[in-house]
Amino acid sequence: MSYFSTRGGAVVTASQAILTGLAPGGGLYVPAMFPQVDRQWIAALNAMPYARRAEAVLSLYLEDYTAQEIAGAVDAAYSAERFDDPAIAPVRRLDGNTWLLELFHGPTLAFKDMALQLLPHLVRQAARKAGEEREISILVATSGDTGKAALEGFRDVPGTSCTVFYPEEGVSDIQKLQMTTTGGGNTRVIAVEGNFDDAQTGVKQLFASPDFAARMGEKGRVLSSANSINFGRLVPQVVYYFSAYADLCAAGGVAAGEPVNFVVPTGNFGDILAGWYAKNMGLPVNKLICASNRNNVLTDFFASGTYSTHRLFYKTTSPSMDILVSSNLERLLYETADRDGELVSVWMKQLREVGSYSVGDQRREQLSKTFAAGCADDRQTAAEIHALFRRTGCVIDTHTGVAAKVLADYRAETGDSTPAVIVSTASPYKFCADVLTALQGKEATAGKDAFACAAELEKLSGVPVPKQVSALRELPVLHSRRCTRDVQAMADAVLAD
Ligand SMILES: *Cc1c(COP(=O)(O)O)cnc(C)c1O
């Protein structure tokens, strides 16, 4: 199967799309078509462990990877050493016809592991196919979750290195510790004196700098990206939608062939887009419900057909969804525009130049057949976390809380009683102070550090503190490098040693 650019033109293989990340001219790679599966194909997933389900889906997309390469990659990624639940992405019933798909059982306790445990293997195999002998140097700017997931994915993968820039004052205590205690001989973690935008702007400038590329080249290194616009991050995410459906059938939550709804806490639109790919392949999905926090640019887009970044940026208790430009939406726009790359280019140019674009009423209506959207602020989210705990005994994190609230609103508004899966993207232990506050009020966290809050949550939920969190206490801090937000300083930090 070939891959096209959302802005027209390029035709590449899967491995080329994964190795280069972004298409020339700034477009994103999309598959030439959606491979189709039937009911028997989906039913056969029932009997398979997660790694085999992943193999089945990936082999439909990654045609220039051998069966052996794909099998090797999924076995290495989705193993008992790396995930603390044998189902890898377990589904559990919350109540009635509401289910939770838990995507946080990987090494960094957030859903980014589902893709970033696999991506390094795909990148390495792609480099081999391309005859690339230089070191593949991954650069990441992170607001928290992506950085650690990339570090864990790439650490000690031969032929690669991974450098992460994080804003010194912009990540949670647990997130900072997770990153600065990372081992491995090929990892670098650098605090930028600034906010997330400073870190991200610097990294983007490094990617665009011929001078930096030349200096890297002299050291036998070539830049690559692990961020969520890489197709190699999208395709592993398609797997868990199929996997969840198979598990739901097995648990009697839905009869084979009956539709389900998925509600997805959304930032960059990568996670929910994978669900839409699954639907296009033939998975019986009724609605994909896009849940946003107070940064509700997508809620407005689905309601009005206009995407506008003329708005304030809010810091919320669900920081991984604090985003104004959802890059992966471009892949949906491409299909909405009937694969007219020129039209997508025009919209993206308008976004860059005037901060907004409109897709028109007809396309908006078309989208609303599949997508619903809603938002919840921090207060509503905390109330939902509290209510859900009271009702079910289950403790969810702040991102998942946004989705739970949006689902409740959607059901009240529409009366749609289709079985629904809430995609749970992080462990509550990753955001324990905010979760504890939601459950017991602000006083409950007074004077407590993250570990004390975690201990408190354990008492309430009965779910043991994951070892990934408790181990942080003992692990030595291995990375203490800092740099200013000046791009030259960032370049030097990557090139040092
Ligand atoms: C990244 C992230 C999201 C948002 O996912 P997108 O693919 O960017 O929409 C939601 N929740 C958590 C915990 C995340 O880390």
pLDDT digits (tens, 9 = 90+) for 423-482: 999 999 999 999 999 999 999 999 999 899 999 999 999 999 999 999 999 999 999 999
Say what the pLDDT of residue 238 is: 98
pLDDT band of residue 36 (cuts 50, 70, 90) is: very high
Atom of ligand 1 nearest to the CA of 144: 15
Is the pLDDT score of 23 beyond 80? yes
Q: Is 244 helix (H, G, I), strand (E, B) or coil?
A: helix
Is the pLDDT score of 257 beyond 80? yes
> What residues line ligand 1, using a CB cutoff of 6 Å?
110-112, 145, 228, 265-271, 320-321, 399, 425-426
**Pocket perturbation via mutation, ligand 1, pick of 271, 296, 299 by most ligand atoms within 8 A of CB:** 271
Per-residue pLDDT tens digits for 466-486: 999 999 999 999 999 999 999
Atom of ligand 1 nearest to the CA of 266: 9
CA 111 to centroid of ligand 1, rounded, Å: 7
Both tokens of 100, joined, read 């939770």
Angstrom distances, CA of residue 71 to CA of 77, 124, 247, 339: 10, 14, 22, 32
Say what the pLDDT of residue 25 is: 80
CA 423 to centroid of ligand 1, rounded, Å: 10
Is the pLDDT score of 72 beyond 80? yes
> Are the C-beta atoms of 136 and 123 separated by less than 8 Å?
yes
Q: Ligand 1 atom 2: the closest Cα is on which residue?
A: 320
Per-residue pLDDT tens digits for 166-203: 998 778 888 899 999 999 999 999 999 988 778 888 88
Could you give the domains of the chain? Answer: 1-497 (3.40.50.1100)
Whole-angstrom distance, CA of residue 75 vs CA of residue 72: 5
**Pocket perturbation via mutation, ligand 1, pick of 268, 277, 397 by most ligand atoms within 8 A of CB:** 268
- Tell the burial category of 448 from Cβ atoms under 10 Å away from its Cβ (0-12, 13-18, 19+): middle
Atom of ligand 1 nearest to the CA of 397: 13
Query: Whats the size of the chain, residue-wise?
Result: 497
Whole-angstrom distance, CA of residue 407 vs CA of residue 265: 10
Both tokens of 1, joined, read 């199967």
| Among 434, 455, 382, 401, residue whose Cα is nearest residue 94 | 401
Chain-centre distance of CA 478, in angstroms? Answer: 26
Both tokens of 201, joined, read 């702007």
Per-residue pLDDT tens digits for 267-280: 999 999 999 999 99
Number of CB atoms found within 10 A of residue 347's CB = 21
CA 272 to centroid of ligand 1, rounded, Å: 9
CA 496 to centroid of ligand 1, rounded, Å: 31
Secondary element (H or E) of residue 356: strand 356-358
> Percent of the chain at pLDDT above 70?
100
CA 227 to centroid of ligand 1, rounded, Å: 12
Q: Enumerate the active-site residues.
A: 112
Look at phi and psi of residue 222 and say left if phi exceeds 0, alpha if psi is from -120 to 50, else beta.
Answer: beta
Say what the pLDDT of residue 205 is: 86
